[in-house]
Amino acid sequence: MGSDFSEATATDAVVESFAETPDARLREVMQSFTRHLHAFVRDVEPTQGEWEAAIGFLTAVGHLSDDRRQEFILLSDVMGVSMLVDAINNRRPVGATESTVLGPFHVVESPARALGDDLAEAHEAPRCLVRGRVLDLDGRPVAGALVDVWQADDQGFYDVQKDDLAPDLRGLFTCDEVGRFWFRTIVPLHYPIPDDGPVGALLRATGRHPYRPAHIHFIAGAAGHNPVTTHLFVEGSPYLEDDTVFGVKQSLVRPVRQEDDEETATSLGLPNPFQVIDFDITLAEDRSPTGG
Ligand code: BEZ
Ligand code: FE
């Protein structure tokens, strides 16, 4: 005769219920999830009301999630799960540019741009030259690498958060024959993640702020190399020490410098001296069987 489902037998009973799962990975995942979920419930001992509140919270997260707003990913972000999954899946060799979260604002395809283009035509703020090279681990240039860039403006807003739907502060660049890319833009401001939903309520209830430090997003890739999804972070920005999505890596922090170079200024239509951020990106070779 089987034993009743009780505090003592609950975990084993549910783990056992997945024993015949044909897919071995799904079996492993569900049995591990059961053990960890039950351990959490045993640790916290929720009241019935707290259980209902938890269901209500997850329901609200679901209601706010669709193909435009992903509150579940935001929840994963503020719990550090997105960055942990990123770390597990991007164990790169020393020297390769570190990865960080994609974020929810890579929602429109970046328009193809010519090297040197201005990403900030609709903005008044002073221009900053962003330039770098895409290199391999031996320091050799990766000619023709693709560099996709998107960023918030100097008020902390992405184009998709505004009514005007024209792509702004986005660009897809093809590096030159010595792996260089460069473009004009404005220095972004730190900003809050979307905090008008249940994830924002959770942050407020726990005394956490919703801010991310100022950053510019990049995805860089080239044939035969592992692509990297990363940011450059603006040195001196608030929240570099306590990014609400845990995305900062010290190796990605760069200063905005003043450069005095009449020739470069003239060729790019910048005042002299001008602001500049240098950001080289190092890609590791793709060693997977299909990676070439
Ligand atoms: C972002 O940097 O765009 C971002 C990342 C995670 C959550 C919200 C925003
Ligand atoms: Fe961002």
How many angstroms is it from 105 CA to the middle of ligand 1? 7
pLDDT at 275 over 60: yes
- Return the pLDDT at 290: 67
20, exposed or middle or buried, with CB in 10 Å at 0-12, 13-18, 19+? exposed
CB 193 less than 6 A from any atom of ligand 1: yes
Set out the domains of the chain in order of their start, with CATH numbers.
Answer: 97-283 (2.60.130.10)
| Residue whose CA is at the smallest distance from ligand 1 atom 5 | 103
Nearest by Cα to 261 from 129, 143, 126: 129
Residues 6+ apart with CB under 8 A from 187: 125, 126, 128, 154, 214, 234, 256, 275, 277
**Band of pLDDT at residue 291, cut at 50, 70 and 90:** low
For the cut 80, the answer to whether the pLDDT of residue 266 exceeds it is yes
When pLDDT is averaged across residues 13-26 and rounded to a whole number, the result is 98
Chain segment 49-65, per-residue pLDDT in tens: 999 999 999 999 999 99
Q: What are phi and psi of 126, to 5 degrees?
A: -55, 145
pTM of the shown model: 0.94
* 234 pocket-lining for ligand 1 (C-beta < 6 Å): no
- Residue 114 reports pLDDT greater than 60: yes
- Ligand whose nearest atom lies closest to the CA of 211: 1
- Residue 77 Cβ inside 6 Å of ligand 1? The answer reads yes
Answer whether residue 2 shows pLDDT above 80: no
- Lowest-pLDDT range of 60-69, 87-96, 162-171: 162-171
- Pocket test of ligand 1: the residue of 75, 76, 77, 84 to mutate, having most ligand atoms within 8 Å of its CB, is 77
At residue 8, the pLDDT reads 94
- More confident position, 212 or 162: 212
Predicted local distance difference test score (pLDDT) of residue 109 = 85
Which pLDDT band, with edges at 50, 70 and 90, does 189 fall under? very high
- State yes or no: pLDDT of 164 exceeds 90: no
Chain centroid to Cα 143, Å, comes to: 25
Instruction: Report, as an integer, the average pLDDT of 75-98.
Output: 96
The mean per-residue pLDDT over the stretch 262-286 comes to 96
> Which tokens belong to 152?
């918030």
Residue nearest to atom 4 of ligand 1 (CA): 103
DSSP 8-state assignment for residue 87: H
Task: Ligand 1, residue 158: give the atom nearest the CA.
Answer: 3
Q: Ligand 1 pocket, 103 CB below 6 A?
A: yes
Rounded average pLDDT over 214-240: 97
Whether residue 11 is predicted with pLDDT greater than 80 in this model: the reply is yes
* Residue 212 CB less than 6 A away from ligand 1: yes
Atom of ligand 1 at shortest distance to CA of 193?
Answer: 8
**Which residues are near ligand 2, the ion (C-beta closer than 5 Å)?**
103
Residue nearest to atom 2 of ligand 1 (CA): 103
Q: Which whole number is the average pLDDT over 9-27? A: 98
Q: Which atom of ligand 1 is nearest to the CA of 231?
A: 2
Classify the C-alpha dihedral 44-45-49-53 as positive or negative: positive
Q: Rounded distance, CA 34 to CA 40, Å? A: 10
